[in-house]
Structure 1
Amino acid sequence: MRFREYSSRNYEHNEERIGASRRPPHMRQEPFRDYLLIHASSPNANGEDGATSLDSDLKKELKEPSDLELVWSISNNGRPCNHQSTRREKKSDDEKDMLARTIRRTGEKVKQVCCDLFLPIGYPHTVAGGYLEYQCYDSIQGLCSYLRGVVSTGAVLMAAGVGDAEATAMSAAMTWAIRDGLGMIGGLLFSYVASPYFDAHVKEFRLLADILNDVGLTLDMALPVLMTWEFPWLCSFLSPYLVLTSVSTLCKVACGISAGATKGNITDHFSIAGNRADVNAKESTQETLVSLIGMGLGVCLTKFLHSLEELSEVRKDTSTCTNYQNGEEQNETCQNFNQQRNIMTVETLSWTIFLLLTFVHVWANYVGVQRLRLRTLNRERATVALRKLAEECGRWILTHKEESKSDPSGSQESEMNELAQKCINTLPSPEHVSESLWGSIIGMFYEGNIRLGIRVKDLVRMSSTKSHGHKMASKWSQEQWDILRDEFHSERYMIAIDTTTFGIRKRNLQPTISVMMRIGATEHDEFKAFLHAHIVMWCMEQEFAKTTNEISWKQLHMIAIHRSRNIVNHFFSGEANNPHFLINVLAHKGWDVSRLYLGFSQWKCDWDFGHVRED
């Protein structure tokens, strides 16, 4: 049953026609007032629709749209529905939807502006994987460095004499000038020593830079405490403040040199679309944002520490202690005790904040550097990437050991191709290689059992033994030298195997491999020698694990050097037609083989004449 209600000034007339029984349930108790309810579902006596007959009578009265106050529609279940309220609700919903769309569009525009301002154009397709993750960790450690600098600056100024009536501006200026000069000189020495290792150890020096910065800031923070110590080993004309601030400045200068040197390599790693300038510019904007945030937080932190110090001063002046003597209460000031207690409270809080920020700084820097997956090959990454390949080749050599004695020329071409294909399948991509940072740092100072790019005289010296006359005698005979020279006459490198003993009773044997490069050798020759040395080392380690007796030199030469050289030549021969050419395979995997940092020295030699010189 459907009902329509119109506004009317003739309510009484229509009330009789409709009848009270036709009213909606919610209107049966009260009069209609100015509302007219018309039954539109049943016909009248003339057979016309009730609504149609009444509409003609009401058209005269409903001349203006304003006369229509309310329209009621009764559904089959008798529940009324207010169309005007529905329109209001619909309008309200439309306004809410429009507001939501406006907020969403505004958010998208702000997001787009932030992306254009802080991220490279075309991100993430124009940068290497892990870019955003690394930048987040880098921003965290940068923010921690800024806040720690704010905390430590107060300690530096206090140690310099700020607030001390006896300190003079001239002495402070002289001290700062000498400090900066010594720091610059130390920075030059650091650059001279460390510059050959920057390209090969990008991640290591990036981590070292922040560690040096931590040391420098910690010295600044500890200056007020260290100034009270006595240093008898210092000269009389050197003040502890000058020495400590100079060391701190040296650490910061070394940090700047290391960070600046490694920044270029990291930028090259991420800019895979030739957008090095864009990546560098966006990194600068990110650093600016971090500096602004750090500035704001630093101001808040400084105000907090200053207010805490002022509160301590107020407590120091107003606090008293009470002593009871002979039953009488006596008040006396306890300024010294309260001063020491309050100062220790401020210093403890400052040190707590500083150490907490230092911990977060080291953690963020280590995790960020560890997540880097550089595409260049240094010694540690190349060792990890080629480890399974060297194991497969070494395992094949040892299983064909008897065959190699009778036929040292090598296996059939089909066997070699099958082995090469199996080895190539083990090569990982840069995303799956995570070298040990600590192992790489140790490798900077200790080469291990594989010495790359040594001189002939160094090989003779390291392999010499003391005779009964206490004179150094070389273990290398002329016959052995001739065999090596014949073996590598067509190569631009030479590999020599030596055995050394270690342990308390000198009964344990370990192999030592020395690699010498010929004059004119290229980076690809160094990479070939590097792979050859690791295959031979794996074979030797497996052989020495089975016996405690020294294996004859000829047997080592026959099994390891000759057999492995045939395999290595298969990986580096026929660049155009060889599908197993190792350089091309690594490039296809994503490695940057145009730059190799395998740790070879600059020494080259010509073993035909024994002449050694620096190339």
Structure 2
Amino acid sequence: MAPQTSGIEFYERDESGRITATATYVPGEGGDGIKVIVPERSRGGRARGGDYLWDLVNVFLPAGYPASVSEDYIGYQIYDSLQAFSSSIAGLLSSRAVLEGFGVGDANASATGALLLTIAQDCVGRLATILFAHRFGPALEAETKRYRLAADVFNDSAMILDCLSPAFPRSVRILMLCCSGSLRAACGVAGGGSKASLSVHFARSGNVGELNAKDSSQETVIGLMGMLAGSFVVSRISSTWATWLSLTLLLAVHLGTNFKAVTAVALRTLNRQRANLVCSDFFDTGKILTPRQAARRERIFEKDGVLRWGGSRVFGNAEIGVRLAALIRSLRQSPGRKKGGEEGVGLAELASVFQNEKYLLWYDAQRCLVTICLKEKVSPEEQLKSWVHALVLAREIRHRWPKGGVDNSNGPSQQALLDTVRKTLDDIGMSFTPMLQRLREAGWDLGVAVLETVPGYRVGACSIEIKGAGKCRDDTTAKGGETKKEI
């Protein structure tokens, strides 16, 4: 019986995991033992023309596609390319209107006047960039979809103002062009910030830089195609009626494809709205929504801070990461503070309820508002717990006191509110940790905090003893012989 020999087969793969070559080593076959090397393309599969087409497409895709990006990447990019194409054509129509507004074709217009108008528009746009980034910058990552779509609403509004401007007197025209410049600045901030967040979401292999570079390549090609098509459109459309009809159709396609693009994205972070959807569904059915399931039920333009149960019923609003003064004001202004001879709830009493938590919260029954103060070193999971607590608390209070704080005679006293806060904290405490584990298994990223849409504040506390001297958390001796200890 002939001795049995064993060989080794080697595979070569590209970044996407596709086999590109195979080598088989068999001992005793003569030479160096390599029996055959077979390029993957010659082993069947795509035709030669298809290979060349695939190589051309790969120029515009991230290395390792599709393994290097999330599953929703290609769906978003298809719609994003369509919206960029229609936006390029519409942009040429608005650019022609801007040139007319600058005086092109008017014998009385001067180059200096057009230059000064351009400078004024640019200055207004730069100031708008600073103001918009300051006001809405913290919310761009938390509300990525909203601001991605809002960016194109701003841009389309600017195009409409540009096309309207030639029909108005010069003074009004200057104002309209400055407004369109500020809208484009807002588009740049909202679009740039939201697209950066989307790039982080799409990248699966730490390839954010390359993904942005390939996105620029795609935009360049789509923009070039749009300019070529737009040149044909602009050269054949001159009447006002035809211009507005074309612009309306292009902007409708632009916004429609943008809406489809953002709805195709299934973000894995839990912002306020997605936390409402996932957590309410968990408490109702015991099931955890996946990012894709939550994306189907997500609203693009949701009211900021709303506490919505199951995507339908609204039980109030919440503010997270607020100043301590806002919490104290909510405690003082709550109806029934001294109802029935009871003393109102104090900050120290509220702090004792949350001594083992990384947050403080209180419910203002008059405004149906939950105020959440976050403590120092609060983790993203603990921020999520505070929001879940606010959602469950608002639902419980609305069920127990349907009229809330509208009718003070039927509203809850502060002591009743405190008891409800304590009860709901105990309720979610038993189910929150198992829920976190199931959220991770469902594909949610809990390591990123995206619940705050404004610059947040953190609260610390120290206990004070009058006798003796001590040190606070920053190792400074307290004045007047007081001893401070962090709590």
TM-score (norm 2): 0.75
1:198 aligns to 2:55 (yes or no): no
Q: Deviations over 1:196-226 (max 9, x none)?
A: 2111111111111101100111111111112
Q: Could you tell me which residue of structure 1 aligns to residue 457 of structure 2?
A: 603
Q: Is the 8 A contact 1:390 1:538 kept in 2?
A: no
| Root mean square deviation, CA, Å | 3.2
Q: Is the 8 A contact 1:390 1:535 kept in 2?
A: no
**189, 194, 217: which is aligned to 2:159?**
217
1:429 aligns to 2:322 (yes or no): no
1:535 aligns to 2:389 (yes or no): no
Q: What is the CA-CA distance between 1:352 and the residue it aligns to?
A: 0.6
Q: Is the 8 A contact 1:461 1:474 kept in 2?
A: no
SS in 1 for 2:244: helix
Q: Equivalents in 1 of 2:447, 2:458: separation in Å? A: 21
- Where do residues 256-405 of structure 1 align in structure 2 (5 Å cutoff)? 256-305=188-237, 346-391=239-284
Q: Equivalents in 1 of 2:265, 2:256: separation in Å? A: 15
Q: Is the 8 A contact 1:204 1:440 kept in 2?
A: no
Q: What is the CA-CA distance between 1:487 and the residue it aligns to?
A: 2.1
Q: Which amino acid aligns with 1:245?
A: L
Q: Equivalents in 2 of 1:247, 1:208: separation in Å? A: 16
Q: Which amino acid aligns with 2:301?
A: W
Q: Deviations over 1:348-403 (max 9, x none)?
A: 011110111011111111121122111111111111111123447xxxxxxxxxxx
Q: What is the CA-CA distance between 1:554 and the residue it aligns to?
A: 4.0
Q: Could you tell me which residue of structure 2 aligns to residue 240 of structure 1?
A: 172
Q: Equivalents in 2 of 1:514, 1:442: separation in Å? A: 11
1:497 aligns to 2:363 (yes or no): yes
Q: Is the 8 A contact 1:159 1:227 kept in 2?
A: no
SS in 2 for 1:517: strand
Q: 1:106 to 1:537 in 2, by over 3 A?
A: same
SS in 1 for 2:411: coil
Q: What is the CA-CA distance between 1:280 and the residue it aligns to?
A: 1.9
Q: 1:374 to 1:479 in 2, by over 3 A?
A: closer
Q: Deviations over 1:97-117 (max 9, x none)?
A: xxxxxxx73431232123312
Q: What is the CA-CA distance between 1:447 and the residue it aligns to?
A: 11
TM-score (norm 1): 0.60
**Aligned sequence identity (%):** 27
Q: Could you tell me which residue of structure 1 aligns to residue 3 of structure 2?
A: none
Q: Could you tell me which residue of structure 2 aligns to residue 586 of structure 1?
A: 439
Q: Equivalents in 1 of 2:364, 2:176: separation in Å? A: 48
Q: Equivalents in 2 of 1:479, 1:213: separation in Å? A: 50
**156, 165, 170: which is aligned to 2:112?**
170
- Where do residues 402-413 of structure 1 align in structure 2 (5 Å cutoff)? none
Q: 1:433 to 1:142 in 2, by over 3 A?
A: same
Q: Is the 8 A contact 2:80 2:261 kept in 1?
A: yes
Q: 1:466 to 1:105 in 2, by over 3 A?
A: closer
Q: 1:552 to 1:347 in 2, by over 3 A?
A: closer
Q: Is the 8 A contact 2:98 2:166 kept in 1?
A: yes
Q: Equivalents in 1 of 2:104, 2:330: separation in Å? A: 59
Q: Deviations over 1:534-575 (max 9, x none)?
A: 2222222222249983345444544x33333234333566xx
**566, 569, 574: which is aligned to 2:429?**
569
Q: Could you tell me which residue of structure 2 aligns to residue 521 of structure 1?
A: 378
- Where do residues 2-21 of structure 1 align in structure 2 (5 Å cutoff)? none
SS in 2 for 1:199: helix
Q: Could you tell me which residue of structure 1 aligns to residue 83 of structure 2?
A: 141
Q: 1:351 to 1:124 in 2, by over 3 A?
A: same
1:488 aligns to 2:381 (yes or no): no
Q: Is the 8 A contact 1:390 1:531 kept in 2?
A: no
Q: Equivalents in 2 of 1:187, 1:485: separation in Å? A: 41
Q: Equivalents in 1 of 2:208, 2:383: separation in Å? A: 29
Q: What is the CA-CA distance between 1:119 and the residue it aligns to?
A: 2.2
Q: Which has the larger radius of gyration?
A: 1
Q: Could you tell me which residue of structure 1 aligns to residue 302 of structure 2?
A: 439
Q: Is the 8 A contact 1:517 1:605 kept in 2?
A: yes
Q: Is the 8 A contact 2:152 2:187 kept in 1?
A: yes
**315, 321, 327: which is aligned to 1:453?**
321
Q: Which amino acid aligns with 1:530?
A: W
1:127 aligns to 2:69 (yes or no): yes
Uncovered stretches (5+) of structure 1, i.e. residues with no partner: 1-103, 229-238, 310-345, 393-422, 501-509, 574-579, 611-615
How many pairs are equivalent?
406
Q: What is the CA-CA distance between 1:463 and the residue it aligns to?
A: 4.9
Q: What is the CA-CA distance between 1:431 and the residue it aligns to?
A: 0.9
Q: Which amino acid aligns with 1:561?
A: V
Q: Which amino acid aligns with 1:484?
A: L
Q: Deviations over 1:383-432 (max 9, x none)?
A: 1111123447xxxxxxxxxxxxxxxxxxxxxxxxxxxxxx4xx1111111
Q: 1:452 to 1:474 in 2, by over 3 A?
A: farther
Q: Equivalents in 2 of 1:561, 1:442: separation in Å? A: 19
Q: Is the 8 A contact 1:485 1:607 kept in 2?
A: no
Q: Equivalents in 1 of 2:172, 2:161: separation in Å? A: 12
SS in 2 for 1:179: helix
Q: What is the CA-CA distance between 1:485 and the residue it aligns to?
A: 3.2
SS in 2 for 1:386: helix
Q: What is the CA-CA distance between 1:477 and the residue it aligns to?
A: 3.3
Q: 1:555 to 1:478 in 2, by over 3 A?
A: closer
Q: Which amino acid aligns with 1:526?
A: Q
SS in 2 for 1:485: helix
Q: Is the 8 A contact 1:158 1:224 kept in 2?
A: yes
Q: Which amino acid aligns with 2:264?
A: R
Q: Deviations over 1:443-466 (max 9, x none)?
A: 59x994323233443234345459
Q: What is the CA-CA distance between 1:481 and the residue it aligns to?
A: 4.7
Q: What is the CA-CA distance between 1:484 and the residue it aligns to?
A: 2.6
Q: 1:187 to 1:570 in 2, by over 3 A?
A: same
Q: Equivalents in 1 of 2:149, 2:95: separation in Å? A: 23
